[in-house]
Homo-oligomer: A and B are copies of this chain.
Amino acid sequence: MTKTKFKRLPRHIGVIPDGNRRWAQGKGLPKEDGYQNGLDPGMMLYELCVELGIPELTFYGFTQDNTKRPAVQTRAFQRACVDAVDMLANRDASLLVIGDYESPLFPPQLMKYKQRKTFGRDLIKINFLVNYGWKWDLHHFMNEDSTINSGSVKIKRNVFQTIASRDISRIDLIIRWGGRRRLSGFLPVQSIYADFYVVDDLWPDFQREHFYDALNWYENQDITLGG
């Protein structure tokens, strides 16, 4: 299956890789063992996106909500995110990590991706949400001056210019693995008009057909942006 199969592709795909803990439990493993099994699916998805020429891909790593879980799980998903970013840094992508950098729960190894860094041939923009919180994202505009100087006058900034995740563009298609039909705080502003596709299989059971099914479904949606 190649690029020619699709008539219309999303420019930006958001990925919610859910179901790692359920997968581990299903194998009789401790819940926290699931996350490392989510690394290969992420790399496979990266490769499929590059092959199709998808310009931007955002992974939902972990959230501030998630860090309320048992410490052994929190350490496991922190570790998995660091590993995933390390793996992608060896490929052809520009990487940006977004989340509450000031919290001790943000892995210090990822601080260097606070500004986007480019690797290899820079074939795709990848955003990784790490210690991300939707409140943290939206509150950002209350912590800043909401006006900008334009010549001699101050003009109001719009919401896209003031949220913490302002460097992440509007999302066309969100694919969530693990069967749940909810956004769970995933980039509320960028997700406003996104089409939302749910894969019932768990993220560590990723298959390329999940992704192609989502793209096939997507190209049959009409895009109105609310109009």
Binding site for B on A (CB under 8 A): 63, 65-66, 68-69, 134-135, 138-139, 141-143, 146, 156-159, 162, 180-185, 188-189, 191-197, 221, 224-227
Which residue on B lies nearest to A163, using beta carbons? Answer: B138
- Kindly list chain B residues whose C-beta atoms are within 8 Å of the C-beta of A65: 225-227
Q: Is the CB of B221 within 8 A of A195?
A: no
- Least Cβ–Cβ distance between A166 and chain B, in angstroms: 13
Q: Is the CB of A191 within 8 A of B196?
A: no
Q: Which of B138, B193, B221, B227 contacts A68 (CB under 8 A)? A: B227
Which residue on B lies nearest to A194, using beta carbons? Answer: B182
Q: Report the bound CA distance from A78 to B181 in whole Å.
A: 31
Q: Is the CB of B196 within 8 A of A192?
A: no
- Least Cβ–Cβ distance between A219 and chain B, in angstroms: 14
- Kindly list chain B residues whose C-beta atoms are within 8 Å of the C-beta of A191: 183, 188
Q: Is the CB of B138 within 8 A of A189?
A: yes
